[in-house]
Amino acid sequence: MSFLPKQFSVSLVATILMLWNTGCTRDRYHRAADRDTLNILDEKTVSRPWGLPPNYSINVDPRSRLFDDSDPNDPRLPDPGPNLYAYDVPQMRSDSGSPASAGDDNLVPEFARTVVGGWSARREAVVPPVSGMVDGWTTRSVRLARFGAQKQDLANATSAAQPYDDAEVGLTIQPIPRKYWDAIPLVCLSRMFEFESVRDEYKRTYNADPPKEMRDQARKLTFADIVSLAQLNSREYQSQKESLYSTALSLTRERYRYKTKFSAAGNGASVDYDHVRDAGVKSNTLTVPSSVSGDRVIALGGTAVARFANSVVMTFGGPQGFAKDISSNLLFEFTQSVFQRDVLLEPLIQTERNVVYAGRRFARYRKQFYFGLSNTYYQDLLSTYRSIEINTQNYFGVVRALDQAEAEVRSGVNSAQPRFQVDQIEQNMLSGRRSLINSCNSLENSLDRLKLTLGVPTETAINIDLRELESLTLRDEMEVAGELVRRARERVRELLEKPRVDREDVVSTNLVMLDRTLAWMELRERIGLEAKNVGELRVLRASVRVDEAYVSVDRAQRQLSETQNAVPPPAPINVFRRTANAVQSRLQLTARQLQHADQLSDKGAVRATVLKAYVAQKTRTEAILARVTKVLRGESDEKLEVLQKEVDGSLGALIALEPVARRMLGVPAKRSAPDVELKQSIEQGKQLLVMLDKLGADDSSGLPKIQLSVDDAMVTALVQRFDLMDQRGRLADDWRGIKLAADDLKSALNLNVSHSRHRLSP
């Protein structure tokens, strides 16, 4: 008999160890909680205005400084000491050249997209429908086309300079003295050098680009990068996600209370072994009790319980030898509250509603979070950078004025300003420098506040990508250019509506409108927008410029005739000047005809002949004018009559060249009558108006009025605002709480029904 207890003891220990290791692990509970919680969130948010982002998760991204690489089910304690410069800003999608993205959990809403139409198109008012749904959120990328720094002449279609191109005379810009550069702190200089205009000023002073040490080398972030970093590192954003998760997790626990649950006694099974020695008699008893039960809360608030218990007792070596005792017990029990059923179901109802509230709060928080980031980015950072550029140019302008005033005082010229005015200019220079440095300090403070919002350590160096600021600046310039086009168009319409008009006024007005329209089209191209009919507009502009040159030719010829026929006869030098003016106007006409030919697809073989004659007459005229200048200065004894004959010959040659140049353009060699030319100019104006209408022109100006009554606005807010939805829900909860409190005061009457059956083995 001693062998059986020993063998049984070994089996008992093995059984206990096996049952001990078969329990559920932390990882299993963790994954089950995630699965059940995400299912509840999908149930409460999918296809609703407060829907969650596609890849919602409370797991921290490995790129975040909040990420812990230890076991999530058994995390280790963090290092207690400080660790500076431990976090590196991760590589963002916009850095690699792909479209800018706000991360997987996208915060950029659809309404944040900027839609730019024609030069007269305005941003339409968006009024959300009362019964509509909130659109999904998507990314927004900033497109910016890089163009060369040198602006090409709109009338010049060839890349190489031509002898008939319009000459552009520029002003000499004095460099900024070095002492004024040295007076600005290095940190402020690094911010100033973000702008190309400031770098050009530095190069003008030092004949070299700013050195790398003076440029900011930090990572330049776009707005999409800022949103991504906020999602990765913001503790507040992570807490909001975890709060929503916790609310949904509590609902899984509450729902579990109302489900059918099966449980075993204790850990599922228990074994009792007793060894008793009484009066020299050994008794070994093994008891194996087992039970299983199930309970469920039904829809009426009642509870149904079923329990089955089984007990097996085996005795070895007792007074009666081996003995066994097997008993079973089956119990059915049902409990139903008669008067307080709502009280029993209230915890589940309230928890279900709390998940909806939490989903709305999270959706509203995401919008507020995005709005806060955009407000910081545009109003604090980009606006401050714009202030730095403006204050820099103001500082440079005052420095040049001060440098010029001091130079005039030192030279002793009569036009020199008094000393007190020079001191005032110096005071303005110091004030401008102070404003510039204050703008730089304000930018540093804004960057520090941004780091705190993003959850990035304040010692981490970051900077802002200014391509969007350049794009916004170009858009502002485009809006201004569009307004100038609208005004020019109105002047053309008013002029064409007059009963009698002058051709010079019509041509001049048409040319102004064409110049402004092409300038607006160029700005559209620079920001990456489509520019329609640019080639057709340039051809039309070249044609109008030829008409303008004809107006100048007619005026110069009329003045020459009046001078030649004047009584008494004028001085010979006056006749020469009028003739030279006529020659210059003819040269300008031929040059613009050549420019017009360059805009045409079929230039023809006549262009080479016209160009050769133009170059010859231009060279000859310049030589004649140089000789006249020497005569007037007394440096030459040449007769003015000889020069007059030569300039008359040049004028005759250019008059003879005109029909050839007209055939080059595909128009009749002989000019039309003045009234016909006036009609042609009027038709050009009408044609231009039609083209502008095709480009999206309208008569509106400014932002459109929003046709929305106060009642419609209130209804829209009541339906669309999540915080008002929650307030209405909380009010309903309070009313329901009053009813439940009243029910709780009623008498408690519970109906209990139970049935038990016990069976003993023979």
- Asked which of 1-5, 25-29, 78-82, 312-316 is least confident by mean pLDDT, the reply is 1-5
pLDDT at residue 324, rounded to an integer: 67
Q: Which two tokens stand for residue 752?
A: 């209990």
The residues spanned by each domain of the chain are 178-231+349-470, 478-493+502-694, 710-744
Structural contact between residues 576 and 644, judged by C-beta atoms closer than 8 angstroms: yes
- Could you give the 3-state DSSP secondary structure of residue 275? strand
- Residue 600 burial class via C-beta count within 10 angstroms: exposed 0-12, middle 13-18, buried 19 and up: middle
Q: Which of 557, 112, 123 is nearest to 374 (CA)?
A: 112
**Which secondary-structure segment (H or E) carries 332?**
strand 321-337
CA angle 654, 659, 662 (to 5 degrees): 110
| DSSP letter (8 states) at residue 569 | P
For 236-289, the pLDDT digits (tens) are: 999 999 999 999 999 998 888 877 777 765 444 566 777 777 666 677 776 766
Structural contact between residues 451 and 226, judged by C-beta atoms closer than 8 angstroms: no
> C-alpha distances in angstroms, 454 versus 142, 239, 448?
21, 13, 10
**How many beta carbons lie within 10 A of that of residue 667, not counting itself?**
15
Question: What pairs with residue 290 in β-bridges?
Answer: 310
Query: How far is 562 from 578, CA to CA, in rounded Å?
Result: 10
Query: How far is 510 from 548, CA to CA, in rounded Å?
Result: 10
Structural contact between residues 200 and 389, judged by C-beta atoms closer than 8 angstroms: no
Backbone angles phi, psi at 51, to 5 degrees: -60, 150
Residue 317, C-beta contacts closer than 8 angstroms, at least 6 positions apart? 1, 281, 282, 283, 284
Find where tokens 């980009």 sit.
Answer: 382
Residue 139, pLDDT above cutoff 60: no
Residue 192, pLDDT above cutoff 70: yes
For 639-681, the pLDDT digits (tens) are: 888 999 999 999 999 999 999 999 888 889 898 898 898 898 8
Could you give the percent of the chain with pLDDT greater than 90? 32
Peptide bond into 568 cis (omega under 30): yes
* 141 pLDDT tier (thresholds 50, 70, 90): very low
Higher confidence at residue 522 or residue 320? 522
For 104-115, the pLDDT digits (tens) are: 455 554 434 433
Considering the chain, what is the average pLDDT of its residues?
Answer: 79
> C-alpha distances in angstroms, 737 versus 154, 272, 413, 521, 745?
76, 50, 92, 65, 13
| DSSP letter (8 states) at residue 760 | E
Query: How far is 132 from 524, CA to CA, in rounded Å?
Result: 35
- Residue 267 burial class via C-beta count within 10 angstroms: exposed 0-12, middle 13-18, buried 19 and up: exposed
**How many beta carbons lie within 10 A of that of residue 465, not counting itself?**
21
**How many beta carbons lie within 10 A of that of residue 344, not counting itself?**
16
Residue 439, pLDDT above cutoff 80: yes
- Residue 483 burial class via C-beta count within 10 angstroms: exposed 0-12, middle 13-18, buried 19 and up: middle
pLDDT at residue 138, rounded to an integer: 31
